[in-house]
Amino acid sequence: MSGCLHVPGDASRVQGPDFARARHAAAIALPAHDWPSEAWWRDYHDPQLDALVAAALRDGPTLGVAQARLAYAHAAASAERAAAGPSLGAETGFNRQRYSSNGFFPPPIGGAFYNDASVQLRAHYDFDWWGKHRSLIAAALGEAEARRAEAAQAAQVLAASVTQSYLRLQMLWARQDNTQAMIALQRELLAGRKARLAQGLVASDDLRSAELDLAALREQAQRFETDAGREREALRALVGGDAETLGELAHRQPAPPQDSVPRELGLELLARRPDLQAARWRVEAQLGRVAAAEAAFRLDINLAGAIGLDAVSLGKLLRYPSRTLLLGATLDLPLFDSGRLDAQLGLARSSRDALLAEYNGAVLDAVGEVAREAATLQGIAQERTAHVDAARAGSALAASAEAKLARGLANRASVLQARQAVLRQRDIELQLLDAQLQTQVALTKALGGGYHAKTNDNHS
């Protein structure tokens, strides 16, 4: 028995994540240092966006699969609990049999028909001395927690996708409106050149150049309209709406909230990222399976009992002498199985090591994702600051042209060209704002999107 109870040693060298590496660079410093709130999209102060995210989280089709998997995991955990508990059942039977005249029983039993009727209550209980069932229950519960975290991750990804799609649509509309303003100025400029061409004051090439610029602006406006149409349908699909869902959507230029990123990530990031929580719970679940595989090497003791009635005729079944009683115990000890238990334990440990390695990699990838988005956001903020000087210079040039026109020192064309320069700077500003908005949402998602695991353990 001492030889059979020997469990192979665990030679794994896989360790947990190195939290000293779970920090972003010190050079990444944004104005505030905090984690996103649970309903972070409300920081944009846009009722339309709030309603769309709420509709997506309520009716979005992408959450159905995650919820179904969560329900399945809970059902599996319930099944493991039930398998570990005692069982009690009723069993009844009735048969009519003719015994052979040449068999074991001589006449008058041999060659005659007899009835056999029975009613029994059977009970069974596995003491689970070595915790095999407890380990399997823990594994099932860990898988259920992983599915719960996956459902939270799906919700956060959906909220981020809806927000990014909505903000992108609004910025496309803003750039389209800006382009339409440029088209209006270009038409006025073209009309002026046609008049001057009729008077012989400009060359025909100047007119063709103005017409080419107008055609390019129209093409750009059409491209914005096409992209906005595609983005609108993408947004409609995300919220699970019908053809009338976005019919009343108004044009609103988004205002970015204050940028924020925690100074240090480390352990806190593990509780803030639902995907990391799911990976952690999968490791926990596999640890339970490893413990169950180790327990399979141990002696297993089960108790069984039955009480009932048995008789050769229905008329005698309910009489006191027909009672039966059974008490028994079974001992299961593996002696030789051609290495099956060793192989099963090796598979469980290898799977544990693979999940742990994936978890460690996911932690470092999460930190890298936060760092990349934060660095991008910081760079965009610097670009916007640098662009302020160019925008200010364009506005000053337009104001100077207006003043010269008022004094008769400049013509209308120079004023229109100065206004167009301002609008071109405006388009660059909108592009930078669009990039900032998209990166802000990406950073929020990288920080967990307001998720916080509600656990009381200290697993790492």
Assigned domain for 27 exists? yes
Q: Looking at the predicted structure, is the pLDDT value of residue 220 above 90?
A: yes
CA nearest to 451, candidates 234, 63, 156: 156
Q: Looking at the predicted structure, is the pLDDT value of residue 198 above 90?
A: no
pLDDT bracket for residue 4 (50, 70, 90): low
Average pLDDT over residues 104-108: 79
Torsion of CA 77, 80, 81, 86, to 10 degrees: 160
Assigned domain for 72 exists? no
Q: What's residue 432's pLDDT?
A: 94
Assigned domain for 323 exists? no
Assigned domain for 331 exists? no
Q: State what percent of residues in the chain have pLDDT above 90.
A: 18
CA nearest to 207, candidates 225, 233, 224, 189: 189
Instruction: Give the residue, 83 or 239, on which the prediction is more confident.
Output: 239
DSSP 263-328: S--HHHHHHH-HHHHHHHHHHHHHHHHHHHHHHTTS-EEEEEEEEEEEESSHHHHTSGGGEEEEEE
pLDDT bracket for residue 460 (50, 70, 90): very low
pLDDT bracket for residue 181 (50, 70, 90): very high
Q: What's residue 202's pLDDT?
A: 62
**In whole angstroms, what is the distance from residue 167 CA to residue 170 CA?**
5
How many CB atoms within 10 Å of residue 165? 22
Sheet containing 323-332: which strands, arranged edge to edge?
87-98, 113-126, 300-311, 323-332
Assigned domain for 324 exists? no
Tell me: the pLDDT tens digits for 229-287? Answer: 999 999 998 888 776 778 788 999 888 887 666 666 666 777 888 888 888 888 888 88
Q: Looking at the predicted structure, is the pLDDT value of residue 189 above 90?
A: no
Tell me: the pLDDT tens digits for 299-353? Answer: 777 777 788 777 776 677 777 787 788 787 777 777 666 778 788 888 888 888 8
The rounded mean pLDDT for the chain is 80
Compute CA 166 distance to the chain's CA centroid, rounded to the nearest angstrom. Answer: 20
Q: How far apart are the first and last CA of the chain?
A: 37
- pTM for this one? 0.77
Q: Looking at the predicted structure, is the pLDDT value of residue 17 above 70?
A: no
Q: What's residue 458's pLDDT?
A: 40
Compute CA 61 distance to the chain's CA centroid, rounded to the nearest angstrom. Answer: 14
**In whole angstroms, what is the distance from residue 126 CA to residue 123 CA?**
11
Structural domain for 153, as ranges: 19-60+130-297+341-446
CATH of the domain at 417: 1.20.1600.10
**In whole angstroms, what is the distance from residue 381 CA to residue 375 CA?**
10
Average pLDDT over residues 376-400: 84
Give CA separation, 206 vs 188, 203, 220, 413, in Å: 14, 6, 21, 12
Tell me: the pLDDT tens digits for 393-413? Answer: 888 877 877 777 677 666 777
Q: What's residue 1's pLDDT?
A: 46
Assigned domain for 165 exists? yes
Structure tokens at 271: 């509780």
| Adjacent-strand bridge partners of 309 | 119, 323
**In whole angstroms, what is the distance from residue 257 CA to residue 383 CA?**
17
Q: Which residues contact 49 (CB under 8 A, 6 or more apart)?
A: 41, 162, 163, 166, 167
Instruction: Give the residue, 117 or 172, on which the prediction is more confident.
Output: 172
How many CB atoms within 10 Å of residue 20? 7
DSSP 395-418: HHHHHHHHHHHHTTSS-HHHHHHH
Q: Looking at the predicted structure, is the pLDDT value of residue 448 above 80?
A: yes
What's the number of domains the chain is made of? 1
Assigned domain for 91 exists? no
Assigned domain for 3 exists? no
Average pLDDT over residues 80-97: 78
